[in-house]
């Protein structure tokens, strides 16, 4: 009999995750932050030393033990009886907590680890995705993105290409439309990863780009689907005004603004819905909207000229015409 702690797809239920969210003492958090800072400091000091390899391997061993914890606990829970529910729930919560704390440290430490250990950590992070928990998946994605973004990381071009292809080919198994934050994190990962791969190995990057363009089209559509879910969650009708409000709200978030790909997708959406937004709403939001769009124009002038120099000015112009 499947455990009540698992959903129909074998993932850990939100009930367990909610219990994890209430755990942790401020004192423990401070100790963890100091410990993570010490590990990062040690790795930074070993960058030119042969000792970096054994130091990285030590972190890998800890990662192998803790990052496999949620999956092992979930499997044990599936075989547990109803009488063992409480104990199984505690073990899952503890395993999730340990994994999340470790991932928080890996976001800073992984870019400084030796290349062989980086490959192992990448595989371990990918193994968290089948658990289908937005919190674990999002933090794993953020750790992979940090690895891709860091110019100091020892990730090899082949490992980098592997990360990108796994994310691109995952489809609905990873690009969960009901998790807008997760979609933004994945989009940022791909953007940072391809930029880094283009610098490290232009040929390998060029070979992967056609496949990426083909696969990314439905993922950009997922941005629209994610906004739709946000509107549904707020109990609002699917009207142009609702999409305008949801898009502007999303563009205010740092996670959204940091991704040129997401900004472009949302700007195209804005250009389509603006003519259908109620005029009273546009008048009320004009100052805030134009200020936000102008700041995006400046931020993405160099990163995404197509969005910065074409789409955004068109949107601002349409706002002026519709008033």
The string of pLDDT tens digits covering residues 36-92 is: 889 899 999 999 899 999 999 999 999 999 999 988 888 888 777 777 778 888 888
The answer to whether residue 253 is domain-embedded is no
The answer to whether the CB of 223 falls within 8 A of the CB of 266 is yes
The pLDDT of residue 192 is: 80
The answer to whether residue 268 is domain-embedded is no
The answer to whether residue 16 is domain-embedded is yes
pLDDT tops 50 at residue 13: no
The answer to whether residue 38 is domain-embedded is yes
The answer to whether residue 282 is domain-embedded is no
Q: In which domain, by residue range, is 83 found?
A: 1-153
The Cα–Cα gap between 178 and 233 comes to 10
What does the pLDDT average to over 226-245?
A: 85
The pLDDT of residue 83 is: 77
Q: Which of 288, 268, 167 is nearest to 224 (CA)?
A: 268
Tokens of 135: 């919190």
The pLDDT of residue 317 is: 52
The Cα–Cα gap between 99 and 67 comes to 5
The answer to whether residue 206 is domain-embedded is no
Q: Which of 214, 212, 173 is nearest to 194 (CA)?
A: 212
Query: What is the per-residue DSSP string for 42-91?
Result: HHHHTTTSTTHHHHHHHHHHHHHHHHTHHHHHHHHHHT--GGGHHHHHHH
Our count of domains for the chain comes to 1
């Amino acid at each position: 009999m499947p455990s009540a702690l698992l959903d129909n797809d074998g993932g850990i239920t939100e009930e367990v995750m909610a219990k994890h969210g209430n755990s942790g003492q401020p004192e423990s958090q401070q100790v963890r932050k100091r410990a993570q800072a010490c590990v990062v400091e040690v790795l930074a000091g070993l960058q030119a030393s042969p000792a970096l390899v054994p130091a990285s391997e030590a972190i890998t061993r800890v990662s192998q033990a803790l990052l496999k914890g949620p999956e092992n606990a979930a499997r044990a829970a599936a075989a547990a009886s109803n009488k063992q529910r409480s104990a199984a729930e505690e073990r899952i919560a503890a395993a999730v907590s340990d994994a999340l704390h470790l991932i928080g440290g890996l976001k800073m430490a992984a870019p400084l680890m030796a290349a062989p250990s980086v490959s192992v950590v990448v595989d371990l992070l990918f193994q968290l995705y089948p658990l289908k928990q937005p919190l674990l998946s999002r933090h794993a994605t953020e750790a992979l993105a940090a690895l891709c973004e860091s110019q100091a990381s020892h990730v090899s071009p082949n490992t980098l290409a592997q990360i990108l292809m796994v994310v691109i080919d995952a489809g609905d198994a990873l690009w969960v439309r009901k998790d807008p934050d997760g979609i933004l994190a994945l989009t940022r990962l791909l953007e940072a990863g391809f930029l880094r791969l283009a610098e490290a190995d232009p040929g390998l990057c060029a070979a992967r780009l056609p496949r990426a363009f083909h696969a990314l089209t439905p993922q950009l559509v997922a941005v629209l689907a994610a906004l739709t879910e946000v509107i549904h969650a707020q109990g609002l009708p699917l009207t142009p005004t609702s999409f305008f409000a949801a898009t502007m709200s999303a563009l205010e978030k740092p996670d959204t603004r940091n991704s040129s790909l997401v900004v472009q997708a949302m700007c195209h959406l804005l250009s389509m819905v603006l003519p259908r937004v109620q005029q009273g709403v546009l008048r009320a939001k004009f100052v805030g909207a134009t200020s936000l769009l102008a700041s995006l124009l400046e931020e993405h002038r160099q990163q995404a000229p197509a969005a910065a120099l074409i789409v955004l000015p068109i949107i601002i112009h349409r706002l002026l015409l519709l008033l």
